[in-house]
Structure 1
Amino acid sequence: MNEPTTPAEASPTVAAHAARTLSTRRIILLSIAGVLVVALVATLLVFRPWEGRAEARPAPIPKSQTQVEPALGECTAPPEGDGSSPGLAPAAADDAFGGWEQRLNDTAATTRFSASEDVREGLTSLSLTSGTGAQPPVPERFEQSVPVTTGETLTVAFSSKAATAGSQVSIVLGPNAVAKRLAIPDGAEWADTSVSYTVPRGMASLSVAIEITSLQGEVLIDGLTVQRNGTELLVNGGFEDTSAVLSIDNATLLFDGAPDSRDLNVRTRVAAATTIAWCVSGGETEYGGVSTFEDGLVQVPVEYSDPGLYTVKISMHHAGQLVERSATFGVVPPRNGVPSGIGIAAHFQGGVARMTNAPATLAMLGADSVRFEVPWQRIEKEPGVYTYPQYIDQVMGAYETAGMSVLTVPAYYNPLYDQGKTPSTDRGLQGYSAYTGALLSKYPASGGLTEIYNEYDHIFNTGACGTTPDCYMRMLVPAAAAAKATNPAATVYGPSTAGMQVRFDWLAPFIAQGGLDHVDVLTFHPYTQPEGPTLLDSQLQELNGMIAAAKPGVDVPISFTEMGWATVDGWVSRDEQAAYTAQTAPIALKAGVDSIYWFTLADTGSDRSNYEASFGFFETASTFTPNTYQPKISAIALAVSQRMLGGATFSAEENWGEGVKAYTFTTADGRTITAAWAPDAPASVAVEDLPDGKVLDMNGRQVDAEDSLDIGEAPVYLVHND
């Protein structure tokens, strides 16, 4: 899979509100007389003992899903006053807007993107002001892309207001070479602009950007539309989907530790004291309350201690309209401090806040490393001169502070060499090698890990030489030498072959040509989707035999530097993604795999038919959670897998009956744990035939099995009573 990079004109990922999440709920219905329930709820809603967050915490109200929502008016807050807007407090930072992403420039942005209640229509418009008092050193962009067809004619319209003359702000359609720029006119009143636009030849995706070259005072934009025969193509062109009115600003939505130390921080910029209703579900009991913002903050307690995926629903009235939002969050077992061998393949996208907060989420998952493809063309713009964008420094610094290693992948091309294609000439390969060394030199605290290219055997290789092991060796040998010259303790990863499964047809000649003499860790991407990973069991044993024959007596670590499943409708469900993730760890540990870098941290779009955008363990970026991502059930399964098997060694393959895979491991703290699943069809195992112990499901919750234990594709863990 490729790292989204930002050349002169990139197509940004379209972010939207989080897609639906499938979760397994266990609801226990309490036998409470209906009249008593009504009386209890009425009393609570009248006297509201939970109000005043500092004085008292709302206690959980045991209810089923069918009881809790009517009891709280379906989590609907009471209307405020006469429905007029109390106004938004001044923005102290950027607001998030669904569908729009700020382009990452080499220097920090100066423009503040915030919501305004000075509107042409609706509740909010986009306000552009200077956040620093300075002008942008280079044009700054707020952008998204829409699918188009060559030669079609679109209607583009927007409303704008620029009371102070002299700003240079434009709506830009298409890449610079053929861009159409629509300047925002000066004027103290709202002005409407509408034009026709014909899509240039060869264009399948149209970038739509708000470009800021200079600002004088405030510029407002509202009602931006891009339509095909009356059908809207743009996401959130009215700027109504924003974090300004209601958001959760936690740095991570995974929690562990003591229940009373966890809160969901709900924020608003609405200036007046506003009331929200909230309810939390996903456990055996559900609870909720009604609270009033104090200084723009309400803290919703996370009362659950059982691991699992949960949902919070929040509603409030604003300007006469009901605002309803929901988000998933997860509770994971306490971290155990064991080196996990788990990494996450992440991207430089989602906004600086999400990127720099991500180490906290990775820590909750149990990961101790992250993998980034670092765009060569963004860093070497003059031969031999390396200038690092501020956002890359910020992200690398965040992982350094968190004590996590970073596996850097020098990727993929540079227009200074080989016409911007994958390097294949002597000069291009020399430039790539020098860049590889420069990356390690720039970030010495990242652990000295580097992977020579990404999926050289796949479509990301555009070089003249080709995709063969012979061509890769021409790149690997000098690049690995440059890495070792920069840092003798550097760990060189390669060849990073693409899926599917183990590519013996490529790895065999690579090993025969002495490739293992130039890498410290053998890497590949053994995707098996839409199937599970069980078929890798025999393939990894075969690969180990091949390595042993080539390097007898030498330990050659193996790493999956990408692995995962895309949660695409009709392909792999969210529950299947979680189950396959949990299956992979025991298979890999049995074969002695050193590490797995899971692809990827978060979905990069809301299109449920887009495979490349749907591999995330977390949902796509949402304005409701502007500083982090909302977990899928696979994130919980990954964290539980690490707590069960992180640092474990394989002991034996057990016979739990036909169709059941059962592998036993000894953990770093001396426990004996068996991971078991039935990959093809559900099975049942007599409890009396199993060792004594405690059984946990894939999500870390205890399984009560009296006579028999039902086993499916979601693994269970038997923690032996040693």
Structure 2
Amino acid sequence: MLAVLVCAVLLSFGAVPAAAPVQAAAYGAPRFTDPMALYDAATARVALTAANGSVSYSVASAEGGLLRQGTATVSSGAGSIDLRTLGPGYFKLTVRNTAGSASTDLGIVARLATTPTTKSPFGTTAHPGIHWQLNHAAASRALGLSTTRVDWRWERMATFISGFYRWDTVGEAEIKRLRALGIRPSLVIAYHGLCDGALTPSSTTCINEYAKFARATAQRFGTTVDYAVYNEWNAATNTGSCGRSADCYMKLLKPAAAAIRAAAPGARVLGPALGAVDDWWAVDGPAYTWFQRFVQLGGAGHVDLVTIHNYSVTTAPDGKGERAVRNAKALLAAAGISKPVVMEEAGYPTVADGLPEYLQAAFMARDAAAVLTAGAATYMPYGLVDNYNDRAHAESNFGLFRHEAVNGGRLVPKQAAVTQAVLSRLLAGAVSRGEEKLGTGTRSMMWRMADGRTLRIVWTTDKTRTLEIGGSTGVAATDWLGRPVPTLLTGGKRQMVIGGIPAFVTTPAGTTARVF
């Protein structure tokens, strides 16, 4: 992110003694116990504790409409609410008994137990050092991600003895969990050591120390992870005296990349993780000119994946992230270089009195569809969880999940998390067929799905319209939360209303579409 993330203080804990048995009567008011409020539609049961007896519950839709009411039995302090027949979507569950009540938002996703991982074109960023008690790997798996960035902070591991490090055990545990679930970790090797006044390395001595740390890291993990050389060198994360130019970045990248490859032949190096917002990627914009210089200096020759960032923080995403990808690919192509381009960070904050959560989800889906269609190898919304529990601070509220402190340590999804889980399963193994031209004000990104069907992610940029699919069988449409979209059969064709929130429409291959 373009603002500097405050370092979390990590505490070491000894063994925790076993808790004494709790009598059922002590449970009292309802409390939800699932560590993550994302459920598979076929098996959705919400676990809770409460006083023995019965609890009443109600379920509301994302729009606030009452969908269901009922009761459930609690025995030995444990119970559950059966939501298996509710279907996919985003809901608010409220549970009550005579001692009190509890509410939670939750997501239900079709085929959540099916995890695409390596075939998924999606990833994100996790901060185990901030959220040390969370299982980021389990959340990444539920979202259907293939890769997750993990902080690998030099300043937390550096010592006054060159080449000796206090390894980040919290980060290592998360890396191990990610690998066990088939999710590729990407280690962000940043930001400073104890040299150069504890600033971003600029001197030859300090740059060599950074390269030494990168080499030791590669010796530790080998080819099981990817290695990102710094993060947003052109932004506030860079405090070094050399400056934020591509020329200065190259002084760090070349020895670091060489050190990583020497220690772990075949390892993948990522960079430059170039920070950008709004129009920075326009021709002659600050990100464009920085990247142009990076390519001229041969920077792309030192990385295996070209990573860029773009935040459309003040506007809808259309034309922004996709332009960043196209311009980056064009500059690479002009230099005779063909390498994967990854949109490594993008997103919107759901800050108080700012963007509502449903728009975060809608804009993410629009941006992801356009960016992948523009040729990005991977799209990585930032980030997995809100950084801090501060609703007034934009930097703290980019997460797909809300901060765990809001929900008693549980991971509760925003609507964007449900959208991400739906998208990952639709696009796993899919091949882009480009953008379908349906007229001004309508955008339709097309894919050939792994099973041969055609997927359209379609939305409008001005007003609602009617989408007509040229066929009546094999047509299915869902909204951004995975809920079925009503269609009208007329004249042997399917019609549906579309607007600014994308619809996901699957049809047999070769089916035509028009908008009016």
The answer to whether the 8 A contact 1:248-1:625 is kept is: no
Supply the distance in 1 between the matched residues of 2:204 and 2:18 (Cα, whole angstroms). Answer: 46
- Secondary structure, counterpart of 1:581 in structure 2: helix
- Secondary structure, counterpart of 1:286 in structure 2: strand
Tell me if 1:636 matches 2:426.
no
User: By how many angstroms is 1:697 displaced?
Assistant: 1.7
User: By how many angstroms is 1:693 displaced?
Assistant: 2.4
Distance 1:605 1:360, change over 3 A: same
Q: What residue number does 1:550 align with? A: 335
Q: What residue number does 1:534 align with? A: 318
Tell me if 1:693 matches 2:480.
no
Matches within 5 A, 1:616-635: 616-622=399-405, 624-626=407-409, 628-635=410-417
The answer to whether the 8 A contact 2:150-2:171 is kept is: no
Tell me if 1:608 matches 2:394.
no
Q: What residue number does 1:108 align with? A: 13
Q: What residue number does 2:93 align with? A: 312
- Unaligned 5+ runs, structure 2: 282-286, 510-516
Tell me if 1:496 matches 2:273.
yes
The answer to whether the 8 A contact 1:108-1:390 is kept is: no
The answer to whether the 8 A contact 1:657-1:685 is kept is: no
Decide which of 191, 206, 210 is 1:428's aligned counterpart: 206
User: By how many angstroms is 1:512 displaced?
Assistant: 1.0
Matches within 5 A, 1:245-324: 247-256=31-40, 258-259=42-43, 262-267=44-49, 273=52, 276-282=55-61, 285-294=67-76, 296-304=77-85, 306-317=87-98, 322-324=99-101
Q: How large is the Cα RMSD of the aligned pairs?
A: 2.9
Distance 1:483 1:247, change over 3 A: farther
Distance 1:3 1:669, change over 3 A: farther
Distance 1:462 1:353, change over 3 A: closer
Q: What residue number does 1:582 align with? A: 365
Letter in 2 for 1:547: L
Distance 1:108 1:418, change over 3 A: same
User: By how many angstroms is 1:506 displaced?
Assistant: 0.9
Give 1 or 2 for the bigger CA radius of gyration: 1
- Secondary structure, counterpart of 1:612 in structure 2: helix
The answer to whether the 8 A contact 1:247-1:624 is kept is: no
Supply the distance in 2 between the matched residues of 1:618 and 1:456 (Cα, whole angstroms). Answer: 27
Tell me if 1:709 matches 2:496.
yes
- Of stretches 679-688 and 568-577 in structure 1, the one that deviates more from structure 2 is 679-688
Tell me if 1:560 matches 2:339.
no
- Secondary structure, counterpart of 2:345 in structure 1: coil
Letter in 1 for 2:10: L
- Secondary structure, counterpart of 1:408 in structure 2: strand
- Secondary structure, counterpart of 2:404 in structure 1: coil
Name segments (4+ residues, structure 1) moved above 6 Å: 111-115, 689-692
Letter in 2 for 1:347: H
Distance 1:542 1:292, change over 3 A: closer
The answer to whether the 8 A contact 1:618-1:631 is kept is: yes
The answer to whether the 8 A contact 2:41-2:88 is kept is: no
Total equivalences in the alignment:
484
Q: What residue number does 1:522 align with? A: 306
User: By how many angstroms is 1:279 displaced?
Assistant: 3.0
Letter in 2 for 1:303: R
User: By how many angstroms is 1:400 displaced?
Assistant: 2.3
Distance 1:497 1:542, change over 3 A: closer
The answer to whether the 8 A contact 1:396-1:443 is kept is: no
Return the TM-score normalized by structure 1: 0.63
The answer to whether the 8 A contact 1:656-1:685 is kept is: no
Decide which of 486, 502, 505 is 1:718's aligned counterpart: 505
Q: What residue number does 2:377 align with? A: 594
Residue deviations 1:206-239, cap 9 Å, x none? xxxxxxxxxxxxxxxxxxxxxxxxxxxxxxxxxx
Supply the distance in 2 between the matched residues of 1:244 and 1:402 (Cα, whole angstroms). Answer: 37
The answer to whether the 8 A contact 2:325-2:341 is kept is: no
Q: What residue number does 1:649 align with? A: 431
Q: What residue number does 2:124 align with? A: 344
Q: What residue number does 1:155 align with? A: none
Supply the distance in 2 between the matched residues of 1:413 and 1:5 (Cα, whole angstroms). Answer: 14
Supply the distance in 2 between the matched residues of 1:439 and 1:379 (Cα, whole angstroms). Answer: 11
Decide which of 431, 446, 457 is 1:664's aligned counterpart: 446
Supply the distance in 2 between the matched residues of 1:640 and 1:346 (Cα, whole angstroms). Answer: 20
Distance 1:623 1:472, change over 3 A: closer
Decide which of 508, 511, 521 is 2:292's aligned counterpart: 508
Supply the distance in 1 between the matched residues of 2:372 and 2:429 (Cα, whole angstroms). Answer: 9
Supply the distance in 1 between the matched residues of 2:140 and 2:233 (Cα, whole angstroms). Answer: 27
Distance 1:440 1:674, change over 3 A: same
Supply the distance in 1 between the matched residues of 2:470 and 2:331 (Cα, whole angstroms). Answer: 41
User: By how many angstroms is 1:557 displaced?
Assistant: 0.4
Supply the distance in 1 between the matched residues of 2:258 and 2:45 (Cα, whole angstroms). Answer: 49
Distance 1:370 1:643, change over 3 A: same
Letter in 1 for 2:119: P
User: By how many angstroms is 1:586 displaced?
Assistant: 2.0
User: By how many angstroms is 1:274 displaced?
Assistant: 6.3
Q: What residue number does 1:412 align with? A: 191
The answer to whether the 8 A contact 2:115-2:142 is kept is: no
User: By how many angstroms is 1:388 displaced?
Assistant: 1.6
Supply the distance in 2 between the matched residues of 1:313 and 1:369 (Cα, whole angstroms). Answer: 34
Residue deviations 1:621-645, cap 9 Å, x none? 146452x310111111111112222
Distance 1:507 1:350, change over 3 A: closer
Distance 1:310 1:444, change over 3 A: farther
Supply the distance in 1 between the matched residues of 2:6 and 2:389 (Cα, whole angstroms). Answer: 19
- Secondary structure, counterpart of 1:607 in structure 2: coil
Distance 1:285 1:111, change over 3 A: closer
User: By how many angstroms is 1:684 displaced?
Assistant: 2.9
Supply the distance in 2 between the matched residues of 1:690 and 1:246 (Cα, whole angstroms). Answer: 47
Higher RCO (CA-CA < 8 Å; seq separation 6+):
1
- Of stretches 502-511 and 383-392 in structure 1, the one that deviates more from structure 2 is 383-392
Return the TM-score normalized by structure 2: 0.86
Q: What residue number does 1:474 align with? A: 251
